[in-house]
Amino acid sequence: MKRIGSIAVALAFSCFSLQVFAQSITTGSVSGSPFCQSENLTVNYSISGSFNGGNTFYVELSDNTGSFSSPDTIGSTSSTSGGSITATIPSVIDPGSAYRIRVSGDSPAVTGSDNGSNLTINSSGLDPAEFGNNEWYVFGYNGKQFVTYLGSYIDTSLNILSSDYFPTNGSPSDASNYQGCSIPNDQHSFSYKREGFTAGQYTLDIRGDDDHRLYVNGVLEYSSSYTSTIQNAVWSGNLGANSKIEIQVEESGGESALEVEFNYTPTLVISDDLDVCTGATVKIGVDGGANYDWSGGNTTYMSAPYNTDSVELVIPSSAPTGVQTYTVTGTDVNGNGNYSASVDVSIVSTYDVSVSDTALGICSSNTANVTASGATNFLWIPSTGVQFNNSSGSNVTLSPSSSTVYKVTADGSCPSDTEYVNVTVFNSSNGTNPVYGQNQWILHGYDDETFSDYRGYYSFSSFNFDTRDDWSINNSPSDAANWQGCSIGNNNHSYRVRREGFPCSYYQIDIPNHDDGVTLYIDGVQVYSKNTWYSNNYTSDVWQGYLGPDSKVEVTIKEQSGGSHVGLTFIPLYGPEANNNHAIWEGTTSTSWNTSSNWCGTVPGNGDKAYLLDLGNNDPVVSTSVSIDTLYISSNVTFLIDGTGALTVSEPIENDGTIEVESSASLVQTHSGSDQNTGSGNYIVHKQGRVGTAGYNAYSSPVENADIATVFANTNPCDIFVFDASDQSWKYDYPNNYSTTCLGNNVTFTSSYLISGSDGDMDEGRGYFIPGGANTSQANRTFTGQVNNGDISYSIATQPNPGNVNWTQDNWNLIGNPYPSSINAAQFWNENAVLNSRIMSGIYYWDDDGTNTNSSSDYAAWNNSGATVGPNSNVTPNGHIASGQGFFVMANQNTSVEFNNSMRSSSNGQFFKNGQIQSSVNFPRLWISLKKDSTFKSQMLVAFPNEATEEKDRLYDALKMESDNPVSIAAIIDEDKFVIEGKAPMQFEGDSAISKLSIHALDSGKYNFEITDFENLFGIDVYLVDLENDSIHNLREHSYEFEVNDSLKTDDRFEVHYKLSEISDPSSVELIDEKNDIKVYAAPNNVIVEAMNTQIDQLQVYDISGREVVSRNGQNATRIKLNSSSWLNGVYIVSVVDDKGKRYRDKIVIQ
């Protein structure tokens, strides 16, 4: 039984399954082919079997080959039974003639049969959502309201005339290039759509049939119903490449038409103005026209062709900077119009960036607007707190949270300079020590009385100021026109006014007004303060001092109530701001006086006033000759005139510091009258004397009241002598009963050893005989005190020496130069011997041999005839008496010699230790020396001045002072011995003269007479006559030698005879110097004579004895070169006569 039952169930199940799955779908035939895109159609179908509830039948469309591999679903219905389905051809589909349609179900999934025949689907052309690109897309619809899209065509014209494509009683589907399905002649609609127009200004004229509408860029601009005629200027505006226009027409019956005219005025769109670096290449272009022509600018930079929509510019690296303007002219496609546009091309080597504000202030909640110029695009660093108001960065809004310095540069390929914008955000932290204005004032304001609540600032450039010029006295600093910051209350506020940098000068500061309490600071140091208001009283001279480029001045005000103001007035007392011939020493660069950067003002010279202030820098040093009008030295300044320097001051000196004068330097003052120097300062004058205690120097003090023991410390007091003219003896200048030690022995100087009025201080104008120092350091004598200056008198006497022992004559006085500069011997002599017969004979300089015995010591002498050389130093007095130099004169009467500033000179090198030969004169003179081997010598001078006589001449004959020199030569006049003999001039040929000689030769040996130098000796023969053997010797040709067996002291053996054999006019002989037309100079083994503006007619060269060495006819040469390799070392005289007969003479030394 069970078996039979199982089979029955299986059979039953099998029958049930066959009944459920036997469904099928049959698609009916489809009429209406061909179809259009988006066209509706009805698809009939039938089924067999049952479909589940919720089943959907789908209409599927094959591809255009009939394949259903990827069918499109074009319609559907939810049903379980057969029927019909409305389907729609897709709007976008490839056209074709082999399409098939089928119906399928999804519950269960059943694929039905296709329709059984091919269907044709025509193309409706374009997507109606799109716009034509620079052409019109024309879309046609069935029905008035653009319901069913049927097809399209393209119109390439700009202007629209629909009748060119379909007749007015037809429809768009009549157009020859139409794609799509047929559109009925009535009750249809169409639209024209386009994107892209030649840039320019347009005016549109329209006629439509029937209803029509104009959309520009999606905006309805015009609408109208049927119009029989064209409507002008329904819209005007700019169109360009991205502009969109749509025109819609709805046809109700009858005609269908659209006519649109586009009236075009081109607008050329050219490249933006641009920056181009030198050496770069760039293109500029244009749009908006059809035909172009470029011109303007530097056409050499343009690359051809010039008639395109762009040109290339090649900028040379050497091109000048500046703007080149290029212009393009354009027309439309028909050649109509003549429109132009320009572009500026800025050629840049470096961007010159500038900003509208370099410093500004804001409160923490505020912002500031700043603009930049000088480039196209800009970078702001940092970018924090920067809001860019345009794409170029030329306009920004700054709102930093704290004070920030912004760096602004050009953003481009060219180099750029840099500007900075300093934005101060005002709060209590940045008001503690606000900045000083650089060469301007900055007022910093606080909204309290304690300088705590910082609110802002403003600046002003005036030197003197009064804040009442900037705001009302009852207001506050924040009411100033250029205030940067936050508001300050009118009462209970404070402010600082600060400046760094002033025109350098010495100023007085006044405070004309202040309300309330005021405090003044100079370089951070308080110099004045007052706690209450000024009570309408001007306060003058609150401070005096120097201000310069680095000086800082600050004035503060604490306002309590009522008025608020302050003013400062700067009065220049001296310096360039007071007078342009004032100069203030700053010493910022070096110690050199002549370095301009060391001075406020120019380096002072003649007529200028120099102020040496203590500014904490280098002290000044003069190393050259400088002349000024006035000198002031402040305390703590040491002003050095070094050994090569000389300072001449024409007015009195005010010295509150120290002036130090080195040994060979000079401090000269030239004002007349008595000493008028002022000041509490000091002078230090150094004099370098002889080294070696065996020799002596003759000193005189250049300062007042120099203490003898201090100046000549380390010197044996018993060897410090003065000469007492009252009894022609050596004494001392110590206080009466002065006790000291000499070489370890106690000594007391009683009055019998002292001069009258002795006090231990060196007297002005007196000479002192002082031993040399043991070494160079001890030989440097330092005089400290106030310098001697102005008119100085020193008493001299004619007291004879009792017994006339060891003195050729009496009336000797040892005096000295009292100044810290040399004096001119001729001017001293002229004042005291020529104009006033106070002294006579000459000026005598001690020339020590430096031995204990003074065995060869002698004097060098000077007067109007000339000077003799010292026997030991070989120095001839150079016409100047050095600072601190002592010397002998012979009094002509009991009187005083006078010194004054007019005698002073800057030539201070000869402290009778070195010097130069005295300048030549225009009368004959010769120097005759007596020498013993190379050991000892003595010299005398014989001169023929115009005013001299054969008698004793007070101004031209100098007595021979007795000395310890074992060799001595002198001329005898009236039984007196003279080291300088002035003789009457010889005027006619055959004139003669004789010098009788006094000779001392104390040692045995050979001696020589020789001429060691001469001047203007033309035509004068010189003979030595030895009366002992009646021999005559021409000294101009050779020296004369004689022998002494034991010793010789004679006044009657030797004579010198002079004879004028040829007349020459010495006044016609011009000494050669750098100003002459003749130049003479030595070269190795040669002497060269050059004529600058003349020619050489005759040339002779003589040696020191007068022997002619060279004689040559110049033949009007301009340059003669003489071979001097065979000449002996010595002095030679070069005589030149030019082609005009003018005679020149010079000395040259061969060595």
- pLDDT at residue 746 greater than cutoff 80: yes
pTM of the prediction? 0.58
Q: Report pLDDT digits (tens) over 1018-1041.
A: 889 999 999 999 899 999 989 999
Q: Report pLDDT digits (tens) over 880-937.
A: 899 999 999 999 999 999 999 999 987 755 444 333 334 457 899 999 999 998 777 8
Instruction: Answer whether 1003's CB lies under 8 Å from 1044's CB.
Output: yes
Q: What is the pLDDT of residue 918?
A: 42
DSSP string, 1039-1105: -EEEEESS-EEESSSEEEEEEE-S---GGGEEEP-TTSSEEEEEETTEEEEEESSS-EEEEEEEETT
Compute the average pLDDT of residues 180-203.
90
Q: How, if at all, do strands 1143-1150 and 1069-1071 pair?
A: parallel
972 φψ region: left (φ > 0), alpha (ψ -120 to 50), beta (else) = beta
% of the chain beyond a pLDDT of 70? 92
Residue 621 CB coordination number (10 Å): 19
Q: Which range is least confidently modeled, 315-329, 558-572, 716-730?
A: 315-329
Compute the average pLDDT of residues 17-40.
78
- Residue 829 to residues 605, 745, 789, Cα–Cα distance (Å): 30, 43, 19
Q: How confident is the model at residue 13 (pLDDT cuts 50, 70, 90)?
A: very low
Q: What is the pLDDT of residue 917?
A: 36
Compute the average pLDDT of residues 45-61.
94
Q: Report pLDDT digits (tens) over 462-489.
A: 999 999 999 999 999 999 999 988 899 9
Q: Which of 384-393, 806-815, 933-942 has the highest mean pLDDT?
A: 384-393
Instruction: Answer whether 913's CB lies under 8 Å from 810's CB.
Output: no
Domains assigned to the chain: 24-121 (2.60.40), 132-266 (2.60.120.1560), 270-348 (2.60.40.10), 354-426 (2.60.40.10), 437-567 (2.60.120.1560), 582-662 (no CATH), 690-918 (no CATH), 920-1065 (no CATH), 1078-1150 (2.60.40.1220)
Respond yes or no on whether the N-terminal peptide bond of residue 172 is cis (omega within 30° of 0). no
Q: What's phi and psi for 128, nearest 5 deg?
A: -65, -10
DSSP character for 601?
A: S
Q: How confident is the model at residue 805 (pLDDT cuts 50, 70, 90)?
A: very low
Q: Which range is least confidently modeled, 15-29, 389-403, 552-566, 887-901?
A: 15-29
Q: Report pLDDT digits (tens) over 235-259.
A: 998 888 899 999 999 998 889 999 9
Q: Which range is least confidently modeled, 9-13, 98-102, 580-584, 1043-1047?
A: 9-13
804 φψ region: left (φ > 0), alpha (ψ -120 to 50), beta (else) = left
How far apart CA 670 and CA 791 sit, in angstroms, is 11
How far apart CA 796 and CA 763 sit, in angstroms, is 13
Q: What is the pLDDT of residue 266?
A: 64
Closest CA to 51 of 11, 101, 109: 109
Q: Report pLDDT digits (tens) over 945-991.
A: 999 888 988 889 989 887 777 899 999 999 899 999 999 999 888 89
DSSP character for 707?
A: B
Q: How confident is the model at residue 360 (pLDDT cuts 50, 70, 90)?
A: confident
Compute the average pLDDT of residues 304-331.
84
- Residue 963 to residues 818, 874, 1008, 1081, 1143, Cα–Cα distance (Å): 26, 16, 20, 40, 42
Closest CA to 781 of 747, 816, 756: 816
Q: How confident is the model at residue 124 (pLDDT cuts 50, 70, 90)?
A: confident
| Residue the block writes with tokens 């005339």 | 161
Q: How confident is the model at residue 306 (pLDDT cuts 50, 70, 90)?
A: confident
- pLDDT at residue 726 greater than cutoff 70: yes
The more confident residue out of 819 and 95 is 819
- pLDDT at residue 1076 greater than cutoff 50: yes
Put the strands of the sheet holding 1069-1071 in their side by side order.
1069-1071, 1143-1150, 1130-1138, 1096-1103, 1108-1117
Q: What is the pLDDT of residue 691?
A: 76
* Helix or strand (DSSP H, E) at 202: strand 200-209
Instruction: Answer whether 506's CB lies under 8 Å from 489's CB.
Output: no
% of the chain beyond a pLDDT of 90? 60
Q: What is the pLDDT of residue 6?
A: 35
Both tokens of residue 1? 């039984």
1113 φψ region: left (φ > 0), alpha (ψ -120 to 50), beta (else) = beta
Closest CA to 658 of 679, 685, 639, 686: 639
* Helix or strand (DSSP H, E) at 711: helix 708-711
How far apart CA 1015 and CA 81 sit, in angstroms, is 160
Q: What is the pLDDT of residue 852?
A: 45
DSSP string, 784-797: EESBP-S-EEEEE-
- pLDDT at residue 14 greater than cutoff 90: no
- pLDDT at residue 18 greater than cutoff 60: no
Instruction: Answer whether 535's CB lies under 8 Å from 581's CB.
Output: no
Q: What is the pLDDT of residue 850?
A: 54
- pLDDT at residue 532 greater than cutoff 50: yes
Q: What is the pLDDT of residue 389?
A: 96
Name every residue whose Cβ is closer than 8 Å to that of residue 426 and which is 6 or more positions away in sequence: 361, 362, 363, 364, 454, 455, 456, 485, 486
Both tokens of residue 1113? 């006819």
Q: What is the pLDDT of residue 334?
A: 63
Q: How confident is the model at residue 1094 (pLDDT cuts 50, 70, 90)?
A: confident
- pLDDT at residue 840 greater than cutoff 60: yes
Instruction: Answer whether 97's CB lies under 8 Å from 118's CB.
Output: yes
The overall average pLDDT reported for the chain is 88
How far apart CA 657 and CA 706 sit, in angstroms, is 19
Q: What is the pLDDT of residue 336?
A: 63
Q: Report pLDDT digits (tens) over 654-701.
A: 999 999 999 989 999 999 999 999 999 999 999 988 777 767 889 999
Q: What is the pLDDT of residue 1063?
A: 60
Q: Which of 38-42, 76-80, 346-350 has the highest mean pLDDT?
A: 76-80
How far apart CA 1082 and CA 681 sit, in angstroms, is 50
Q: What is the pLDDT of residue 1082?
A: 75
Compute the average pLDDT of residues 563-586.
95
